[in-house]
Amino acid sequence: MVLYLRSFKVLCLTEVVCGAPSIYLDFARQKLDAKIGVAAQNCYKVPKGAFTGEISPAMIKDIGAAWVILGHSERRHVFGESDELIGQKVAHALAEGLGVIACIGEKLDEREAGITEKVVFEQTKAIADNVKDWGKVVLAYEPVWAIGTGKTATPQQAQEVHEKLRGWLKSHVSDAVAQSTRIIYGGSVTGSNCKELASQHDVDGFLVGGASLKPEFVDIINAKH
């Protein structure tokens, strides 16, 4: 079994959410302490119908999970999910009462072409257009070129994008939303680089993959303290 643990910061406490594969969601919810949240790694945009293999927010809630991860880079670039589809999923998940961890991020060729802002702002707009309650949304910036590659955005690169995302929210949503929305970083976060990343003003936590399966995950959880 593989459980991908994702953490993010709220006020002065660390909230930890386990993003489990769908067939292990019930197991994870039963085994984990109640203080640890559980998230599905994906869901569909409608409550029911002939969509073999998909899961709905209603199913996720049935087993006691309260979160869903949407727009992950693999959903975008392996399974071809469009910004429009991800926005529709966000709208439905929120309408059904789930919290949403919404992922955005540029590929290597897009960063090298100097269009990082264009890409992440377009992805963010597709999400924002479908959000009514920002209190249930966490934005996760994941530069695609840093996911599972061992390459990590420098703390300065992460801070730059996070700061600009917060500025976009201020300009296009509201100052209150910009200040309160948690923007977390994902992309080869480890015990050795988490503290420097966490020290950046606009980095509110982490979306963690491989390191969540190692003892160093405890250090990542505590990095913001």
For residue 138, give the CATH number of its domain. 3.20.20.70
Give yes or no for residue 196 having a pLDDT over 80.
yes
Q: What total number of domains does the chain contain?
A: 1
pLDDT at 213 exceeding the cut of 50: yes
CB 28 within 8 A of CB 21: no
16: which strand partners?
A: 7
Give the range of the structural domain holding residue 40, as residue numbers without chain letter.
4-221
Catalytic (active site) residue 142: yes
Among 15, 72, 81, 106, the active-site one is: 72
pLDDT tens for 6-15 read: 444 433 478 9
d(Cα 85, Cα 135) in Å, to the nearest integer? 22
pLDDT digits (tens, 9 = 90+) for 67-123: 999 999 999 999 999 999 999 999 999 999 999 999 999 999 999 999 999 999 999
132 by DSSP, 3-state: which? Answer: coil
Report the chain's mean pLDDT, rounded to a whole number: 92
d(CA 97, CA 187): 28
In three-state form (DSSP H/G/I as H, E/B as E, the rest C), the secondary structure along 175-217 is HHHHHHCEEEEECCCCCCCHHHHHCCCCCCEEECCHHHHCCCH
**pLDDT band at residue 147 under the 50/70/90 scheme:** confident
Mean pLDDT to the nearest integer, 56-75 = 97
> What local confidence, expressed as pLDDT, does residue 225 receive?
65
What's the confidence (pLDDT) of residue 83? 98
Selecting among 15, 81, 110, 142, the annotated active-site residue is 142
